[in-house]
A = this chain, B = another copy of it.
Amino acid sequence: MNEPTGTTLNSETRLGADQLLDGLYRGGAEICFANPGTTELSMVSSLARDGRIRCVLSLFEGVCTGAADGYARVSGKVPLTLLHLGPGFANGIANLHNARRAGSRIINLIGDHATWHLEYDAPLTSDIRSLAQPVSREVIYLDKTGTITDGVTAAFAATNRDEGGAATIIFPTDVVDAPAAGSASVEETAYRPRPVPAEALDKAAKALGDAANVIVLIGGNALTEAGVRAGGALADKLGGRLLMEPYPAIVTLGGDLPVVERQAYFPDDVMAQMGDATVVLAGARMPISYFGYEGWPSQLVPEERLVRLAEPGDDAVAALADLTDRIDGAGAGVPARDAASAVASPAAQDALSAASVVEELLVQLPQDAVISLEGSTMGGPWLKQAHRAKKHRVITNTGGAIGQGLPCAVGAAIAAPDARVVALQSDGSAQYTLQSLWTMAREGLKVTVIIAANHRYGILQTELKRADIPLDDPVVSTLTDLDHPRVDWVSLARGYGVEARLARTNGELAEALREGLSLDGPLLIQAELP
């Protein structure tokens, strides 16, 4: 019969799409951040028939991948994304780049043309593998229906490799449209960091034996509450300082936890910060320059002053505890802290500054909140003060691909529905994935977005100033100032169904923040900054 099919989509027969979905569910996937197209409609149909996996739609793929990243970081589970062919996937690459740096476990599902249609080079045909490779631990092309179960198993295995990461499954439509009897024998496997061998611990203990000046630099699983405490205990015993890598995937701070200093950004600042300390790497990468600047080294602490205790994929928490046990002496004891007592609202009538936004948030941030932090305008100030807030978790931009903050807030709010999520977000980077606001409204997420509205690319102007380039040059201004026209974030938010407030003074911010933090849904606050 020469009828267009897709009629099989509605069939009672179990299809490849059903087997694929069943395997993904059995492997532990509970949610799918989707922006499907025609080649993904068999999967849409299967998601509808199956009903076990929650579907969250976004208006742009970068929101899907960023939300998957935020969800993975907060929950530790493996979310799915469902994206349309090469170009749709490409729109999600930037946030998958960040997810790769965060070690977020994600499985991307990308539809492709039917295998027999590929040779005709239809308009949407492209080299999906080449696009997916840079952000995937493994790219799995399902070229036959019989390979689905193995493909799903391989995908989950890839997400567990080293410090974790994303796997990408490409499925041609004919492969998932074909009958596929039997369920997928996929088993859920939890992510386990590698134990640090005893020899490494011995070596570290020995190296630290007579070090007078020590920095414990935490990353990986040492960014958890247990890790921060373990890092603090080691630093205390060594009479040293506790630092964290500059862009933690997710770190617990505040409350009665030890104060954690953040590694600086510019190489000169990092070198001054590190001084001649011996640096214990506990799940963190060694300090390097974010960009390469002529006249400055890439590696900012020489090899002989590094103690490589635990790599990012290692169990740094256990290693820190074990190492602490091996070190002689008692330490001064980490002082008991009552963080929240030392905070107060800034003067209500004064104009906002990044510092005053941070002060007010220190006052109001509820216990166990999650902060999705993007951009240096408020990000730097917050991480300097975060120990004064109630206990909370902070997600930062691990890979430098901007447009992460709002989508990660979406994923975080879905992963932790009882928590309050605050997006501390620079205005420039917010633009790359502002469609996140619609998903926040649609899903009724308890996200309070604070936009640091300084109407410029602040980091670029900082870099240009360091290089003595005049910011008032017309071309330089054209490419770094965003004030012509000024973006009205209140209007943008309302366009997406998110209520919004403009705050110019500390009092206005305090009031808007109280409102936002009490809502059972999102609120955006445009914080006008100098």
Contacts and interface: CB of A to CB of B under 8 A. Distances in A.
Interface stretch (A117-125, A251-259, A325-333): A117-125
B93 A97 contact: no
A463 interface: yes
Interface stretch (A211-219, A316-324, A398-406, A509-517): A398-406
Contacts of A398: 123
A288 interface: yes
Nearest to A124: B400
Contacts of A497: 485-488
Nearest to A485: B497
A297 B463 CA distance: 56
A173 B292 contact: yes
A34 B460 CA distance: 14
Interface string A159-193: 00000000000000110010000000000000000
Contacts of A292: 113-114, 116-117, 122, 173-174
Contacts of A135: 126
Given A131-B134, A495-B489, A293 B6 contact: yes
Nearest to A117: B292
A177 to B, nearest CB: 6
A141 interface: no
Contacts of A91: 62, 91, 93-94, 403, 432
A473 B45 CA distance: 9
Contacts of A88: 94, 401
A403 B92 CA distance: 14
Interface stretch (A68-76, A411-419, A464-472): A464-472
Interface core residue of A126, A438, A490 (most chain B CB under 10 Å)? A126
Given A44-B476, A113-B292, A463-B41, A4 B267 contact: yes
Contact of A469 (B45, B428, B459, B487): B45
A39 interface: yes
A39 B400 CA distance: 12
Interface stretch (A52-60, A145-153, A275-283): A52-60
Interface stretch (A7-15, A201-209, A352-360, A365-373): A7-15
A218 to B, nearest CB: 17
A312 to B, nearest CB: 12
B94 A123 contact: no
A199 interface: no
B131 A47 contact: no
A2 B293 CA distance: 10
A442 interface: yes
A115 to B, nearest CB: 8
A94 B87 contact: yes
B173 A291 contact: yes
Given A87-B93, A123-B290, A294-B114, A59 B485 contact: no
A294 B41 CA distance: 14
A380 B485 CA distance: 34
A311 to B, nearest CB: 13
A60 B135 CA distance: 20
B491 A400 contact: no
A154 interface: no
Contact of A60 (B401, B432, B476): B432
Contacts of A87: 93-94, 97-98, 399-402
Given A44-B475, A88-B94, A120-B298, 16 more contacts: A4-B466, A5-B467, A39-B291, A41-B460, A47-B475, A55-B475, A85-B400, A86-B134, A87-B399, A90-B131, A91-B93, A114-B294, A119-B298, A122-B288, A130-B131, A438-B485
20 contacts: A4-B268, A6-B467, A48-B474, A55-B479, A57-B478, A59-B431, A86-B134, A87-B93, A87-B402, A88-B94, A90-B93, A101-B123, A116-B298, A120-B299, A122-B292, A123-B398, A126-B134, A130-B134, A487-B495, A492-B496
